[in-house]
Structure 1
Amino acid sequence: MAQTAAAAPSALLPSAEQAEVIDFIESLRARGGTPAEPSARIVSADGTRGVVIPESMFQILVDVAEALKAGLAVTVAPRHLALSTQEAADLLQISRTTLVRLLESGAIPFDKPSRHRRVRLEDVLEYMKRQRAAAAQALDDMVADAERLGMYDVAGEEIADALKHARRAR
């Protein structure tokens, strides 16, 4: 499925036919999670050697395979470094109107070279990172408040500790 840089997003849905993905993951794990060669390569189905890919691209492919194995859908969408407000809103999974409010409030920087606002992909990703951190802090605060008020049971503490540990591991 070859796509141009301006291609529409495509969703990869997990299916029974994706045994190759699972085999890919198991093969990597069997080798200690590293490629068999010093550099990762894309190889065609007939075994012909393809191009060498950077480690960062290899890790992306591993992450996609892990998500599909876990039964998650993966969306592949080409992105420009500068996004329209609709593209940025879609990436954040919010309405365009909400995004414009965020832009006007200064939460996300933007440029307006003409009539239309342009948002840098880097700024949108940074905003997402800040939002995740704020949500994690809010959850930690709620857990601490519940513990302080004696509203947390033992099983809840174990879950909270596991969540805190998982968050720190990221």
Structure 2
Amino acid sequence: MHRSDIRSAELSAEQTEAAGAALSHVRSYLGRHRDLAPVRVTVEDGEPELLELPREAVDLLATILAHMAAGRGVSVVPTNAELTTQQAADLLNVSRPFLIGLLKAGEIEYRTVGTHRRITASSLIAYMREDDRRRREAADELTRLGQDMGLI
């Protein structure tokens, strides 16, 4: 797989319904088989064929199906993928200039290739997790202050 390979999927209403049905089967299977053994899947398109999938891949499939069943588009990005500033901004749902400000402030690791900045998906994910943590802490602090003041 190429280092910048990003796969996206958008579904029709019919496909969204099919994703929901598949999700219920996958979750049911995973619930009954909690070990980390590979998952065997039989594909019946003409001659039946047995596939053996890593458990982690099936767990990821369940996550993908859940988003698709909810009508959300899904992108799969390898952790070592190098993103352009526009791709990274799109994943963060911010403007490119705002993202560049984050890069210059040292909030997200990146490297320069010629005059272009490249951000690894793993660096972007680390920033997103840290940003989520900070937001939760701020919300918790606001809740505590509201309770202390008798507003909540």
- What TM-score do the two structures reach when normalised by structure 1? 0.70
- State the partner residue of 1:22: 20
Cα deviation code 1:111-155 (max 9, x no counterpart): 113111111111111000001101111111111111111111xxx
Other structure's SS at 1:112 match: strand
Pairing of 1:1-170 with structure 2 (within 5 A): 10-13=8-11, 15-31=13-29, 33-34=31-32, 38-46=37-45, 48-69=48-69, 71-78=70-77, 81-152=81-152
Tell me: CA distance 1:141–1:90, structure 2 relative to 1, closer, same or farther (3 Å). same
Find the aligned partners of 2:125 and 2:28 in 1 and give their Cα distance.
34
CA deviation profile, 1:27-69 (whole Å, cap 9, x unmatched): 345446246xx52245435372253222221111111222233
CA distance in 2 between counterparts of 1:32 and 1:68 reads 18
Which 5+ residue runs of structure 1 have no aligned equivalent?
153-170
User: Which structure shows the higher strand fraction?
Assistant: 2
Task: Confirm or deny: 8 A CA contact 1:85 1:96 kept in the other structure.
Answer: yes
Larger RCO, structures 1/2 (Cα 8 Å, 6+ apart):
2
In structure 2, relative to structure 1, the CA distance for the partners of 1:17 and 1:108 (3 Å cut) is: closer
Percent identity, please. Answer: 22
Residues 109-118 or 71-80, more deviating:
71-80
What is the root-mean-square deviation of aligned Cα atoms in Å?
3.0
TM-score normalised per structure 2 = 0.77
How many residue pairs get aligned? The number is 148
Contact 1:41 1:49 in 2 (8 A): no
2-structure distance, mates of 1:51, 1:31: 16
Q: Which amino acid letter does the alignment assign opposite residue 102 of structure 1?
A: L
